[in-house]
């Protein structure tokens, strides 16, 4: 769609943006996966010790399929990461460790998002990051886009608000694409009273930004995310594309569970979208695990927070009877991929799991 004459996009030409650029689907070929090595102990209060070992297992699986780029807060963290990876029999020729300062390690949100130009080249789009409008310490995370662009040797553009009032605040965990012009987001994340990311922007403004930066010509607005989500409704805990026309949706069938009303509303929204979608949409239900509690707090445990890499899908598991159902469902949706469960009961105490901590770098064509 062409931009209106008054749009800041119509006036801006930074030499990086390409008309017709798009965000590739996660299942498209990767050049690498980026993660940050855990070091901020308050993110896992009283339970930090097992977390580096969980990360080492994640890298062990990923590096068998693609290059892994690891950001380490300082030299001591780099040494700790190397020791843990060697202990897990990781071939360090497939893993690069970089000293880059970070406040937290949820790179899905603080790192830039990769987009592909019509000619097949890939560059990064950096959103402004404000720590989910919740935390004060994010000055180093705001600079991660610059570091990743330099380390990857790729260009980078900074996303602007469509009204010209500065940089656009977004996080990668809030956007889910099929790589063919469709996007999933939630109203809770961007339009509800609790969010303070981009005051003054409405639904149409966001859709213009999604079109401009991500090539999204159709946006499906779901309602709320899952209970316990610290981000106020990121879509990657509830709904994911698994191919251009298939969406897997986390659904809670127990009417006494707080996720039930939310997920039923999202079922209705997806069914309505499917009824008007050219060629239709396939909606596959994914269970929630039982509530995962820690110190009286319900955590955002969800199988939908899986990560798709080259030939493998990593799925969080929770020592729950629904683990097997979730793994089998995802395996059926990705018949050409290996599906690997990663124990995430400790990891989710940090209020995120596998998709939250990874960011893919698509391969250029």
Q: What distance in Å separates the CA atoms of residue 124 and residue 115, rounded to the nearest whole number?
A: 6
- Reduced to 3 states (helix: H, G, I; strand: E, B; else coil), residue 229 is coil
pLDDT at residue 2 in the model: 44
pLDDT at residue 14 in the model: 63
How far CA 156 is from CA of 28, 81, 112, 122, 276, in Å, comes to 20, 28, 8, 9, 36
Residues in the chain, pLDDT under 50:
1-5
pLDDT at residue 15 in the model: 73
Return the closest-CA partner of residue 184 out of 159, 216, 136, 160: 216
Please compute, for residue 7, the number of CA atoms within 13 A of its CA located in the half-sphere on the CB side.
20
Query: Do 70 and 35 form a contact (C-beta atoms < 8 A)?
Result: yes
Domains of the chain in sequence order: 21-362 (3.75.10.10)
């Amino acid at each position: 769609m062409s931009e209106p004459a008054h749009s800041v996009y119509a006036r801006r030409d930074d030499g990086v943006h390409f008309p017709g650029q798009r965000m590739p689907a996660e299942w498209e070929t990767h050049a690498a996966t980026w993660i940050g090595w855990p070091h901020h102990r308050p993110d896992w209060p009283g339970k930090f010790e097992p977390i580096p070992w969980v990360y080492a297992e994640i890298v062990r699986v990923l590096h068998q399929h693609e290059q892994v780029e690891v950001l380490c807060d300082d030299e001591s963290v780099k040494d700790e990461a190397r020791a843990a990876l060697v202990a897990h029999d990781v071939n360090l020729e497939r893993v690069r460790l970089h000293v880059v300062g970070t406040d937290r390690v949820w790179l899905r949100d603080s790192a830039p998002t990769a987009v592909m130009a019509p000619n097949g080249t890939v560059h990064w789009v950096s959103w402004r990051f404000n720590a989910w409008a919740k935390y004060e310490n994010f000055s180093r995370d705001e600079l991660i886009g610059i570091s990743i662009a330099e380390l990857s040797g790729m260009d980078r553009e900074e996303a602007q608000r469509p009204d010209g009032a500065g940089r656009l605040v977004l996080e990668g965990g809030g956007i889910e694409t099929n790589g063919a012009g469709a996007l999933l987001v939630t109203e809770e994340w961007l339009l509800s009273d609790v969010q303070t990311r981009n005051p003054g922007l409405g639904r149409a403004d966001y859709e213009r930004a999604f079109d401009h930066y991500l090539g999204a010509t159709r946006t499906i607005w779901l309602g709320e995310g899952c209970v316990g989500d610290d981000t106020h409704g990121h879509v990657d805990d509830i709904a994911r594309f698994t191919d251009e026309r298939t969406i897997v949706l986390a659904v809670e069938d127990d009417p006494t569970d707080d996720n039930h009303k939310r997920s039923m509303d999202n079922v209705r929204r997806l069914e309505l979208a499917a009824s008007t979608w050219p060629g239709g949409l396939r909606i596959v239900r994914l269970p929630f695990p039982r509530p995962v509690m820690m110190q009286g707090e319900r955590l955002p445990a969800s199988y939908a927070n899986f990560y798709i890499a080259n030939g493998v899908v990593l799925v969080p598991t929770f020592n729950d009877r629904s683990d097997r159902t979730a793994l089998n469902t995802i395996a059926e949706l990705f018949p050409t991929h290996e599906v690997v469960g990663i124990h995430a009961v400790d990891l989710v105490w940090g209020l995120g799991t596998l998709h939250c901590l990874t960011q893919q770098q698509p391969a250029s064509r």
